[in-house]
Amino acid sequence: MADPLLSVRDLVVEFPTRRGTLRALDRVSFDIMPGEVLGMVGESGAGKSITGSAIIGLIEPPGRIAGGEIRLKGERIDNLRPDALRKIRGKRIGMVFQDPLTSLNPLYTVAQQLIETIRTHIDCSEAEARKRAVALLDRVGIPAAERRIDDYPHHFSGGMRQRVVIALALCAEPELVIADEPTTALDVSVQSQIIEVLKDICAERGAAVMLITHDMGVIAETADRVAVLYAGRMAEIGPVREVITEALHPYTQGLMGSIPTLTQESDRLVQIPGSMPRLNAIPQGCAFNPRCDRAFAPCFTERPELLSPEPGRLAACWLHDPAKTQEVPHD
Amino acid sequence: MTEPLLKIEGLTRRFDVSKPWLNRVIEREEKQFLTANADVSFEIARGETFALVGESGSGKSTIAKMVVGLLPPSGGTITFDGQKIDTSAGIPRALRRRFQMIFQDPFASLNPRWRVGEIIAEPIRTFGLMNATDARKEAGRLLEVVGLSAGDVNKFPHEFSGGQRQRIAIARALSSKPEFIVCDEPTSALDVSVQAQILNLMRDLQDEFGLTYLLISHDLSVVRHMANRIGVLYLGRLVEVAQGKKLFTDPQHPYTRMLLDAVPDLALSGRRRRPVEGEIPNPISPPPGCAFHPRCPLVHDRCRHEVPLPQPTPIGQAACHALDKVAPA
């Protein structure tokens, strides 16, 4: 097996507050292989976006990385000095945010923004950078790119703006693109166009994608593997098809059942009782234990580690530890 | 068929989006209007869930607001339970009690300075249905109906999570014992696991109290799960109305087909989706003829000039010229 492009180990992100320290991420570990699309799902507050921000070093103080390591091609990037990190951010890791209006500067034309970014990271002349920029806009599907490149962001519609942002994220040919809810602000008919562009263009250039979203439908159609976060902890990671059809973790099972689909026949949705605990009130043991109908003794005392009941799949649940289940037989 | 509970005919709403008078004079511009809804007609039978879907800007919420009387229509009629509502005079109080609304954002729709009990009892008080002590008891009972506890009447909205707040909003909507509830994107601000709880609750309440819902949503899978009949809106016009699940297996209008094609689904069909061409045009200057024609794969000459009228299809009705050829005259 090839070496991972990005490797995150036991990542802890903490936010000190007046009432004590909140752990937004608690020992999260995962890998992204070169060229792979890893989906990152979870409900709001589960820590999806924080994971993305931690990787590119954009956690807002007073939040901080309090433990663990992040390695890009084997090289640690979580403890770099700001200027060293700036060279990686944009150059080796591109970023697409949710709202295209906030990631584009309204006072500069698209050309100025793209050329500036290209010339910051790649050594080339202005004319050459412009040529690259036009080619890139054309590739992300902006009609008449040659002419529209001199427009300002407000001249573009939401979908077109998000295409510009994708061009901006890809212009320095990064190895990894972190896309944080890239289509949440868009309508469904435009959403599918954007996902298509993002997926194709990254595949073409061999860039890996970390796709952060709460929309399981998008993940199902886009990602190779999916990581499920719950209350700042990794609940399950595995190939997307298997996680959706036969999830290992009870939380993932409930989550998949609670999503209405376009083909299901049942009249009632599966519902998980309660809601995700607040970060200052995470129960002892497994964070999911108050909502889990299969919880047994060890779940209330010991936090489950990621176990691998099947090759290529990981789940943090004691049900998959034969030693534990033998101790206390459940139903 | 019995008399429909709600009947809407030719409902139209235009918004004046002109520049100020002085600018118009100087720049020699005409007044500009945004047509949010044009000639929308549908009926909702008692006890059913009718859903309206469409992308942003298609006029879903404008219809909801006109139905509950928050916005006067520019044209067309609304008939509730056989009584035509005179929109210029406002909705009569006796009728007003019989329909309620659940809004999208439970953080904005509950007054943060009121206790939950007062919030829920407000419609009871407004319509003078009970005395204060009974209203208070009723608020507690309603909280239990929606899955919270009666003791919560003394709490404030900020003590609840998003899903719980939406339950409070539902309890408030139920308190005046309405027959008809307009739900404007009731779950789009919620996480999926909470969304499932709310959708299940809405169904249970419908069975228990015999409610009729008008559900507004942009999420096709939610609509499929909840609705008996579905109306698809595009640029303020109703392009297709069909029976719930059939819309998903046998869509008639090309826009409906496109929309269904575009939705990412959990089914993992592995299909390579046809990416949709183009985006919704500007509603201030919609294309002439059929508003969908610039994006339509079946476009022909007639679509560019003539607005298609709704015509019956095997599963409901659709407004499309292309159906003329297929459907028997």
The DSSP secondary structure of A242-309, one letter per residue, reads: HHHHS-SSHHHHHHHHTS--SS---SS----SS-PPPGGGPPSSSTTGGG-TT--GGGGTSPPPPB-S
Note whether B246 contacts A: Cβ–Cβ < 8 A. Answer: no
Residue in B with minimal Cα distance to A158? B279
Task: For residue A223, give the 3-state DSSP assignment.
Answer: coil
CB contact under 8 A, B264 and A192: yes
pLDDT of residue B203: 92
Question: Where is pLDDT greater, at B170 or B297?
Answer: B170
Tell which residue, B201, B204, B210, has the closest CA to residue B179: B210
Q: What is the dihedral sign for C-alpha A107, A109, A113, A115? A: negative
Q: Do A263 and B267 touch (CB under 8 A)?
A: yes
Q: Which residues contact A204 (CB under 8 A, 6 or more apart)?
A: none
- CB B193 to CB A159 under 8 A? no
B262 at A interface, C-beta within 8 A: yes
Cβ pair B267:A220 closer than 8 A = yes
User: What is the nearest CA distance from B4 to chain A, expressed in angstroms?
Assistant: 25
Whether pLDDT at B328 is above 70: no
Instruction: Determine the pLDDT at residue B189.
Output: 81
Give the best residue of B49, B193, B230, B250 to mutate against chain A (max A CB count within 10 A).
B193
Residue A112: pLDDT above 90?
yes
pLDDT at position B327:
46
Hey, what amino acid is at A325? T
Of the candidates B56, B260, B275, the beta carbon closest to that of A187 is on B56
C-beta neighbour count of A288 within 10 angstroms:
28
Distance from CA of B146 to the nearest CA of A (A): 13
Q: Min CA distance, A219 vs chain B (Å)?
A: 8
Q: Which tens digits make up the pLDDT trace of B238-297? A: 999 999 888 888 899 999 988 888 877 776 555 556 666 777 777 778 888 888 888 888
Q: Both tokens of residue A139? A: 């590739």
Per CB-CB distance under 8 Å, the chain A contacts of B264 are 191-192, 195, 215, 217-218, 220-222
Of A160, A188, A271, the CB nearest to B200: A271
0.85 surpassed by complex ipTM: no
In percent, the amount of chain A with pLDDT more than 70 equals 97
Q: Which of residues 159-198 of B touch A (CB under 8 A)?
A: 161, 163-164, 191-197
The tokens for A255 are 């989550």
Query: Considering only CA atoms, which of B303, B258, B306, B253 is closest in space to residue B279?
Result: B258
The two structure tokens encoding residue A264 = 């299901």
* Prediction pTM value: 0.83
The count of CB pairs under 8 A between chains A and B is 126
CB–CB of B300/A295 below 8 Å? no
Neighbour-count burial of A72, counting CB atoms closer than 10 A to its CB (0-12 exposed, 13-18 middle, 19+ buried)? buried
**Could you give the CA distance from residue A128 to residue B170 in angstroms, rounded to a whole number?**
59
Nearest to B197 among A240, A241, A271 (CB): A271
Q: Which chain B residues are closer than 8 Å to A256 by Cβ?
A: 266
Do residue B267 and residue A43 have CB atoms under 8 angstroms apart?
no
**E strand intervals along A36-183:** 37-41, 64-72, 75-76, 93-96, 176-180
Look up residue A89 and give its DSSP letter. B
Q: Give φ, ψ of B325 to 5 degrees.
A: -70, -40
Smallest Cβ distance to A157: which of B248, B262, B279?
B279
Q: Give the burial string for A126-162 (b: 16+ CB within 10 Å, else e).
A: eeebbebbbebbbbbbbeebeebbeebbeebebbbbb
Residue B125 and residue B103: Cα distance in Å, rounded?
Answer: 21
| Domains within chain B, CATH numbers bracketed | 6-98+178-265+273-323 (3.40.50.300)
Strand-pair category, B33-44 with B229-234: unpaired
DSSP-assigned letter for residue B219: -
Q: Does the domain spanning A6-92+174-261+268-325 belong to CATH 3.40.50.720? A: no
Asked if the C-beta of B14 comes within 8 angstroms of chain A's C-beta atoms, the answer is: no
Give backbone dihedrals phi and psi of A229, rounded to 5 degrees, phi first. Answer: -105, 145
Better pLDDT: A186 or B187: B187
Chain B nearest CA to A85, separation (Å): 34
- Are the beta carbons of B192 and A214 separated by less than 8 Å? yes
State the smallest CA–CA distance between residue A158 and chain B in angstroms: 9
Omega of the bond leading into B297 within 30 degrees of 0 (cis): no
Partner-chain contact A259 B196, CB within 8 Å: yes
Among A317, A167, A175, which Cα is nearest to A248's? A317
User: Best interface-test mutation with B: which of A44, A192, A197 has the largest number of B CBs within 10 A?
Assistant: A192
CA B51 from centroid of its chain's CA atoms: 6
Q: Which of B221, B268, B276 sits opposite A189 (nearest CB)?
A: B276
Q: Pick the range with the lowest mean pLDDT from A190-194, B8-12, B140-144, B149-153.
A: A190-194
Helix (H) or strand (E) holding B61: helix B60-68
pLDDT band at B170 (very low <50, low <70, confident <90, very high): very high
Per-residue DSSP letter, A72: E
Q: What is the pLDDT of residues B214-243, one digit of tens each?
A: 999 988 888 988 999 999 999 889 999 999
CA atoms A50, A56, A58, A59: torsion sign: positive
Residue A329 has pLDDT above 60, yes or no: no
Question: What is the reported pLDDT for B215?
Answer: 94
Q: Which amino acid is at A163?
A: R
Q: Could you tell me the maximum CA-CA distance found in chain A, to the nearest angstrom?
A: 71
Contact A217 B265 (CB under 8 A): yes
Q: Which residue of B has its CA nearest to A187?
A: B55
Once rounded to an integer, what is the mean pLDDT over residues A198-224?
Answer: 89
**Chain A closest CA to B109's CA: distance in Å?**
20
Max CA-CA distance within chain B?
67
